[in-house]
Each structure stands twice: as structure tokens, then as C-alpha cells.
Chain A
Amino acid sequence: MPRRIADLGRVLVGLFAVLLVYLAGVQVIWGPHLADTAQNPRLAIAAQQVQWGRILDRHLTVLADSTTQGGRQVRRYAGGSSLAHLLGYRSARYGLAGLEARYDPELLGLPARDPWQALQAAVGRSMRGDDLVLTIDGTVQQAAVQALEGFRGAAVALDPRTGAVLALASAPAFDPAAIDAAWATLSRDPGSPLLDRATSGEYAPGSSFKPVVLAAALQGGRVTQQTEVDCAASITVQGAVIRNFEHEQYGMMTVPDAFAASCNVAFVHIGMATGADAIVGTARAFGLGRAPRFDLPAASGHLPDPRGLGPRGLAQISFGQGSLLVTPLQMALVAGAIANHGALMWPFVLSQVRAADGRILESYAERGTQVVLPPAVDAEIVQDMVEVVARGTGTAAQIPGVVVAGKTGTAENPQGQTHAWFIAFAPAERPTVAVAVLLEHGGVGGQAAAPAARRVLTAALAAQAAGGGRP
């Protein structure tokens, strides 16, 4: 019997050995990672002991700071709901979102390496987090928010030379300071106010995709600016009838004219001549079909697989329909890349991290680049986009004294009235601002989205002139 008792003892010792190995895993190896999850309420408790850093716009105007209310630190957002999606919120109940979440370690003044341990070390001492300086321009943001008034949609403005985001607006919005009280209403609202349409709303691009098709076509060499294409009222591809907007028909016209008139049938011809591989490949080079590198999580949209597309699918993507999906941020990148001589600058919104005493701890001028088009081809597309605003579908975007380049889009969608798109940049000869505007079910791009884009462009140009064009 003693041997069997020893067996039993060994089994129990074995159980405790498993427990010890497991504890070592949870407490020592996995511990720091596990403790540092946003769900750990200890983080919020510890975060209350640090005075959170402020968030400033590019002119160092305060966008977010904190104040003490009833012994607790609460966040104040100077712009109310106007930057809700970008800045996010700090809620004891619903956690962190937006830049508040992304740059929480900085705002708490922690070295990014091991925030939790640094936090523990600092507990008990009075601390002040670091400030974030954004690339956002408060006045441009305000213009973007106003341009979206009365619509669901998004507007993005960026500096095409660097990728610095000047405005990132999504409507409808919410008051980030009142998130706790309004959560139940917001999360049930059919208008999805919590969704950041600028980075995460995915839509068919419609004709605003035509610059991408044109870029693929001109690069391939089988289509030139002088090529004449047939802009009949409709065309039948594999039994599918594709019609022009409002049944327009112009007969034979040059590529720039077909682009300015946004003739779908002509672009089906151009697309067929260019091929699915070239179009999808160029779209990918423009950053479509994958999540852009950005400070916040952003949707990838969708590009079809060119191999499975077939003539009918090719015809549809040639004028921006079919299974294509893009986000407003991605379309701003398309406009920006064309404006920047064919080089895409990855977008970014954090320009500096500053210590409480104003010392600059981190500074970013750009976040990387990627060549999309040869400059010569790009110059031709710029020229064609100038024509769109000068005498084509985008005349509503004209700004006196400034040459604006743009492209309209009127995207059909299964939910109802067409989405209105407009992408643009200015001044065309030396672009300093690129924008993308989307209005859900807003109607015709040239009528609804182009004037909205003009307001954002005007505000951005004015702000740049006032600020000496500092990027």
C-alpha cells in the first residue's frame, strides 16, 4: 500500500506542477501582455492618476484637453462633435477609441515600450502626459464638417506633397464627451453615427474611379490622349446593357473629352482595350484594395480578382461599378497621388509628440511614399482632370483665380439613390491640397459633391495662404 500512496502523491504533485507552470505563464511570460489590454480596469484606474496630454491641431489650437469633475478627470473636446471619429473618446465604460486609443501611451506620458510597468513605477507621483500635435487644420476641418451638413457622408483633405491629413470628417457624428450617456442611442441609430465613414465606409467609386482606368490605359500605350472612342448611348457586353448617364450620347470623341463628359460607354471601350490586369494592378498601386498605412484602423475596400472578371466584369469596373469598393480616405489618396506627380504619400495625422514643457519628443514630416505612375502619364491625367472642372461634369468645383482639377462620380448602389463623389486637387499647376468627398445617396457627383469639395478646397487654400503654406 505505501507504493500506491506514493503513486497517488505523485499524481497530486503532478497536478500542482501543472498549476505552477501555468502560473508562470500567466503571471510572468504572458502577464505584461495580458495586463496591458484595454479591458483591464486597472489601466483606467491608473490612468486617472496621470493628467492626460492634450491634442492640438497644426496651429497648436487645443482640440482636446481634460479637466477635473467631481474628483475624476474628464475629457473636453473643443470642437464638440466635429472631430469625433478622428479623436475618439475616453469612456470608463466603453474604453478608448480613435486617436485617444491609438496614442494612449503618449497621452499618459509613457514610453511606448512597456507602458504598464512604467505606469506602475509612476503611480503615486503627479504626472502629466505628452501632447499630440496633429496635421489637422481646425478651419479646414470646420469647412469639411459644414460641407457634409444635411448628408451622411465623409470628406477628407490632405496635403498631397506629404500625406499630412488636413481634415477628416464623417457625418453623422456624435459628441465624444457625452459618449457614456448617449451610447445606447448611438449604437442603435440606423445612421450609424459611431462609424467613421472617412476611413471605414466602403462604397462603389463610380466614375471617380475613371482616373485610375485612364492611368492604366495611358500607361499601357494602346490608348493615348488622341485616341478617338465611341460615346454611344449604350453598349451591350455579354448580354449586359451599359448606358450613359441620362442616356447622353456624343458619338466619336477624344479620350480627354470622354473623360470630361464622364462617358461610361467610351470608358467601357477604353477599359476593354486596357485589360483587367492593368486596371486592377494600377488600382492596387493607388492603394485601393488594401488598408492604407494610417494612424487609425482603416478599411481595405475591395478589388476584384482580374482573372475571374470576364468581359462583363471588366466593362463594369471600367466605369467604377461592379464589385469595386473604396473608402473616402483611399479616394483622397488617389487624388493626392495624381496631384503629387504620380507618387502616393501615405497619409498621417500625428505630426509631433510634445512633452508638457513644449519639448518636441517625436516629429514626423511624412510616413513613406510609393510611386504609382510615371510623371509624364500623370501630367496628362492632371490635364484631363483640369478639363473636367473647366468645362466638364465638375464645373461646380471652380474657384475664381485657382485652377482646380477634379473628377465626379455618381455611384449606383443597391440601397437606393446614387452616392455622389468628387475627388479634386488645387492649384492644378502646383497642388497643395487634395480632397475626396462622398455623400451617401447624395445624387449626382457634379451637383452635390463638387460644391462640397469646393468649400473644403477653398478653406484649405485660404488656411495655407494664411499660414505661409507650412506643411
Chain B
Amino acid sequence: MTSPAGRFLGALSRRARERGLLVGALALGSLGLAAVHVALYPAEPWRPVVLGAVALAGFLVVHAALSASGSGADEVLLPVAAGLSAVGLVMIYRLRPDYLLRQAAWIALGLVVLLVVLGTLRDLRWVRRYAYLCAALGLVLLLATVLIGVERNGARQWLLLGGVAVEPGEIVKLLLVAFFAGVLTDARGLLMLPGPRRWRAELGRLGPTLLCCLGALLLLVFQRDLGLAMLYYGIFIAMLYVATGRADYVVFGLVAFLAGAALCYHLFGHVRVRVDAWANPWAFASSGGYQILQGLYGLATGGVVGTGLGAGHPDLMPAAYTDMIFPAIGEELGATGTFCVVALYLVLIGRMFRIAARARDVFESLIASGIATALGLQAFIILGGSTRLIPLTGIPAPFLTYGGSAAVSNFVALGLLLGVSGRLLAGGEVSGAAANR
């Protein structure tokens, strides 16, 4: 099926499957919103619920745009993002009904940005030339946050841009992925060479990259945003490995991570508090361990099927609608709900890695791997952190957590990946039939 007609039919069936999956996800989301409304706020007007459902229906607009342009983009990414956004919106309505409309607006904004990305960024290769500009912009944003950032919701730092609070970490995440992808595309050939030429390449190329990475980490440690620091570092190591295949970099990177973590534990009180509360929350039940304990009790109370939406007490968890949204899902929707969310993330990053593996351009492939790693690792850090698998550091769960900056950044990432996957087909490199092989 490599004929133009075959490719067209392949794209058509992809879009048909996408529509089916999307309708399912959106129906579930609307049903969830209605269920929460009936259970908890029966006397309130229905209007916000309807608007929330309308925002979710925006996914269908993106789908229509893809269909209209005859795109052969991956058909699973959009429905999975819709499913996660729907679950997040339902939980936000349940936990903070006053935030329903705002989150619906963020989703709508994200979808608009997604459409813009799909329409304008037809080719990513030009970004490669601006790799160092991306790095500079990212560092400036982080530095600005340290210098003129304001503190909201505890440790997290925000940048006020024209009255709108922006969480720069989410945007910097994508800038760093672009930067790493650019530098590594240039250097990967040299880095895989044996002998002195490699060392020169390591010094010349990785030196600045490492410095940049270190700078970002330091800024984040200053801001107490350890989750982001961990995320950036993980993205760097992962992309370095994908570009070069050098296991020694990974080993060195992990050792350096452990050493850095131990150093931070000894140097910074706020790191110590987090780790101690993780190691034994019961010993700090009324202070640092309170949040994590409430999360554990919520998860345990949920059991297999959960208490049902509105029937549990996830409001006992501090920051339930942001950091603790996953345990809140665990309490009311049970292990069934948490397993479904994890499954959605697995499908999401699975498809993204598949796209990365098939991209023919090294730079695009690295960008896609970086984004897949970023979303997957970010989800793991907050899901694992809020359930006490690892120490808790507050970063948003992609598509799930309340927040505008995160929504915009995640939808940009989604748009980039959709674009990359669409070009696989358009370039005739991978047909619909081949994709199913």
C-alpha cells in the first residue's frame, strides 16, 4: 500500500479510528462531569459542566482539522491526551468546582496552541540551528524566575507576565529538549568515534551542554523545584544515550545523580525534609509526612474499585487538585482508576517512542525521544511521588493536573509529535500498513 491511493486510504482509516476513540474518551469525560455534578452539586447550575464538556469537545475540532488536511498522523495520541484531560477535568471539578471553568479554558487554549503548532511547524529541522538560543532562553527564564519569581502554592515559583502567572519550568522543558537534540545531532558522530577525536568532541560539545545542564539544575535547586531538576537531568541522560548509545555516559550520569542527590540531602534542609517524610511519614505525621500519609490513606481506602466519585474524602489531602490528583483518583476510582491512568500514560509514551524510532531525521527523532521521555518521566515522578514510591516533589502530571502553563506546554509537545508522525506517512517512508506490522 505505498501507492498514493493506498496512503490516502490508510490515513482515512487512521482518522476513523481516532474518531471512535475520541468519542469514547469524551463521552466518558462528560459522563464523569455529570456524575460529579449530580452527586455533589445538584443545586448548582449545569452551565459550567456543559462548558467543560464543550472544552473537551475541542479535541474533535483538532481531529476534524487533521482529517481535513488528510494527515496520516498517529491516531492514538490525541484520544489518549483527551482521556487524560477528561479524567483530570472530572477530578478537578470534584475537588475544586471553582476551578472547573479555568481548567476547561486551559484545555481550550492548549488545543488552540496545538492547532497552531500543527499548522505552522510543518518541519522541525530549522529549530536545530537555534539550539543554543533555546538553551539561552531557557536559562534566562529560569534565572528570571529565581530573581523576580513569586511564590504560589508553596515551593513552586511563578513568573508574572502581564498579570498572568506562568510556570516557566514547563516551557523550559521543551526548550531544553530542543537544545539537547540540536547539540547531540551535531556531536553524535564524533561522540561515537574512538580515540582522541572523541575526547575533543566530548570537551567541545558536551562541556557547554553539561554546564548548561548544571546551571539549570542549580537554578532549580535554588527554587526548591527538585522534581523539575530530576526531570531535566533524566531527559539529558536519556537523550545522550539515544544519540550515542554510550552506556558509560548513562552509568556515569546515574552515579553523578546519586552523588548529587546525597549532596543535596546534606546541604539543603528542604531536601532533607522531603526525603525524611518519604522514608518514614509516620514519624512526621503532623508535619512533613502529613500530605504523603493522607495520600496513602486515600489510596488504601480506594481499594480495588474506589469509593465512587464524590463518596470519598480526597479533600483531606493537601493540594489534591494539583500534586495529589493521582491519589485522589485512587481513592474515588480505586486501583481500577489508577491502573487506567497508568495505562493511558504507557500508551501515550509507547506511541511517542514508536514515532521517535521511525522518524528518519536524527534531529526529529531525538526531539521525539526527548518529548516522550519528558512526559513519561514527568508522569512517573509525580505519580510515584504522590504515592510514596519515591520522595514527593511537586510537578504537574501531564494533561491531568490543573494548570495553564503545563497545558500549553503539553499540547505543544503533543502537536510536535503529531507533526513528526504525520510526516512519516507524507514522506512515503512508513505507510499505514507498515505501521501495523
Contact = CB atoms under 8 A, between A and B. Distances in A.
Q: Which of A4, A18, A120, A123 has the most CB of B within 10 A?
A: A4
B126 to A, nearest CB: 21
Interface residues of B, number: 49
B389 A18 contact: yes
B36 interface: no
B358 A27 contact: no
Interface stretch (A38-46, A255-263, A318-326, A367-375): A38-46
A35 interface: yes
Contact of A16 (B243, B285, B304, B342): B342
A70 interface: no
Contact of A45 (B243, B313, B373): B313
Contacts of A12: 349, 353, 372-373, 376-377, 380
B297 A35 contact: yes
Contacts of A11: 238
A35 B301 contact: yes
B299 A31 contact: yes
A6 interface: yes
Interface stretch (B223-231, B264-272, B332-340, B421-429): B332-340
B362 interface: yes
B342 A23 contact: yes
B293 A30 contact: no
A294 interface: no
A342 to B, nearest CB: 46
B296 A34 contact: yes
B313 A26 contact: no
B358 A28 contact: no
A54 B345 CA distance: 51
A78 interface: no
Interface in A1-53: 1-2, 4-9, 11-13, 15-16, 18-20, 22-24, 26-28, 30-35, 37, 39-42, 45
B350 A9 contact: yes
Interface string B289-325: 0000110110111111001000111001000000000
B299 A8 contact: no
A19 B238 contact: no
B384 interface: yes
A45 B245 CA distance: 55
Given A1-B365, A19-B384, A32 B342 contact: no
Q: Which of B243, B296, B316 has the most CB of A within 10 A?
A: B296
Q: Which of A7, A19, A22 has the most CB of B within 10 A?
A: A19
B218 interface: no
Contacts of B304: 27-28
A23 B372 CA distance: 23
B383 interface: yes
B77 interface: no
Q: Which of A5, A18, A23, A39 has the most CB of B within 10 A?
A: A5
A5 B356 contact: yes
Interface residues of A, number: 37
B301 A23 contact: no
A35 B353 contact: no
Q: Which of A19, A27, A120 has the most CB of B within 10 A?
A: A27
A19 B342 contact: yes
Nearest to A35: B300
Contacts of B388: 26
B335 A39 contact: no
B388 to A, nearest CB: 8
B297 A5 contact: no
Interface string A331-361: 0000000000000000000000000000000
Nearest to A120: B307
A12 B381 CA distance: 11
A42 B301 contact: yes
Contacts of B302: 27, 31
B61 interface: no
Nearest to B313: A42
B357 A6 contact: yes
Interface string B157-191: 00000000000000000000000000000000000
A384 B350 CA distance: 86
Given A8-B242, A31-B303, A19 B387 contact: yes
Given A1-B243, A27-B330, 14 more contacts: A5-B365, A8-B353, A12-B353, A12-B372, A12-B377, A13-B349, A18-B389, A22-B384, A27-B300, A27-B302, A27-B335, A31-B299, A31-B303, A34-B297
11 contacts: A1-B357, A4-B245, A23-B330, A26-B299, A30-B300, A32-B300, A39-B297, A42-B316, A45-B313, A120-B307, A123-B311
Interface of A: 1-2, 4-9, 11-13, 15-16, 18-20, 22-24, 26-28, 30-35, 37, 39-42, 45, 116, 120, 123
